[in-house]
Amino acid sequence: FAPWNDPQARPYISFQNVTKRFADFTAVNNLSLDIYEREFFALLGASGCGKSTLLRMLAGFETPTSGRILLDGQDLSGIPPYKRPVNMMFQSYALFPHMTVEANIAFGLKQDGMPKAAIAERVAEMLKLARLEQFAKRKPHQLSGGQRQRVALARSVAKRPKVLLLDEPLGALDKKLREATQFELMDLQQDLGLTFVVVTHDQEEAMTMADRIAIMDKGQVMQVATPAEIYEAPASRFVADFVGSVNLLEGKVASRTGNSVVISGGSGAQISVENAGEAAPGAEVAFAIRPEKIRVSSKPPAEGHLNAMQGEVWDLAYLGDMTVYHIKLDDGQVVKASALNSARISDDPLTWSDRAWISFAPDAGVVLTR
């Protein structure tokens, strides 16, 4: 499933040069973005970056200051929220406290004037889908947080919207439940064949659930890509730094051959790397490399290894599955490296202030010009 790679595929939701201003504050700034049918799409960004505003404009609760939003080829301007084939699930869930689970789910269908028998059938289907059958007669206060979340979800999809918008849908759940619910949400989205657009500030959540992620900053999209592309080929220092942990080895391009460059750092140390992107000789660049791509050892790497540097263990943290090292290189730069504990060389237990070597392959990261 990758319609975004198919030049023939038509976007389902299209933000075209959308700007939203509140008085003199620009919350969304000339943003263009395409989302495809049946995609699980995540808007990821720090608080205040404009992601909720974007979602609210799609739902029709806010009107763009300029630009337009298309859904299935139709311009949504002037179409009120209730006439859009879009439903929004809020973080607070907003369940009716005095109504049973089934009455909560039936509420919107009743309002639409759906016949009684059809409502009963639809509610039963939703209860089953959300694994809530045995809770049908309970009221919200008799449910756990996770169950309430499932009721809210069942209620949001009962009307069969084409698009479900979720604003921080798992924000109220504790970590364990959140992780379990992420997979439930993905299953539900698959089963229903809906397009989901979720807003979150939690990168793990976005990485777990989404087909693609838009990384937002200051009302603009910094990169749109699959979780793997975002992690392994970030387009800028901002994206590299925003998602996961990264080392940005800064320097100037000394020379370029094909897709390889030699980068000189401030202290004169050089690294030879690939994935040079747009980097031209003389450009100020960063080589972005994830901690797990850096090898740490008390011994030097094999002779002829291109990128090897010496330093000392400045800090280390044992995290169960892995150990994270901060290595202070002899040029003063601190590099973060991590190693899976299952793969750690047992006779090489590096500890604080030990001398250490770091090394990495030329293709272990990407060169960034932005």
Q: Does 307 bind ligand ATP (CB under 6 A)?
A: no
Q: Exposed (0-12), middle (13-18) or buried (19+): which is 103, by Cβ within 10 Å?
A: middle
**What's the burial of 328, exposed, middle or buried (CB within 10 Å: 0-12/13-18/19+)?**
middle
Residue from 34, 40, 44, 50 touching ligand ATP (CB under 6 A): that is 50
Of 53 and 223, the one with the shorter C-beta distance to ligand ATP is 53
**Cα–Cα dist 103/126, whole Å:** 12
DSSP for residue 182: H
Q: Is 27 in the site for ligand ATP (CB under 6 A)?
A: yes
Near ligand ATP by CB under 6 A: residue from 14, 52, 104, 359? 52
Under the criterion CB under 6 A, does residue 47 sit at the interface with ligand ATP?
yes
Q: Which residues have CB under 8 Å from 129's CB, separation 6+?
A: 154, 157, 188, 191, 192
Neighbours of 345 (CB within 10 A): 12
155 touching ligand ATP, by CB under 6 A:
no
Part of the chain binding ligand ATP (CB under 6 A), chosen from 4-12, 48-56, 76-84, 229-237: 48-56
Q: Rounded to whole angstroms, how far apart are CA atoms 295 and 231?
A: 19
Rank residues 222 and 327 by Cβ distance to ligand ATP and give the closer one.
Answer: 222
Stretch of 49-57, 246-254, 267-275, 328-336 contacting ligand ATP, by CB under 6 A: 49-57
Q: Which is nearer to ligand ATP, 50 or 161 (CB)?
A: 50
The contacts of residue 220 (CB under 8 Å, 6+ apart) are 29, 30, 31
Q: Is residue 21 within the footprint of ligand ATP (CB under 6 A)? A: no
- Per CB under 6 A, contacts with ligand ATP among 195-214 are 201
Of the candidate residues 48, 281, 282, 349, the single one contacting ligand ATP (CB under 6 A): 48
What tokens appear for 364 in the block? 């272990």
**Chain contacts with ligand ATP (rule: CB under 6 A):** 22, 25, 27, 45, 47-53, 201
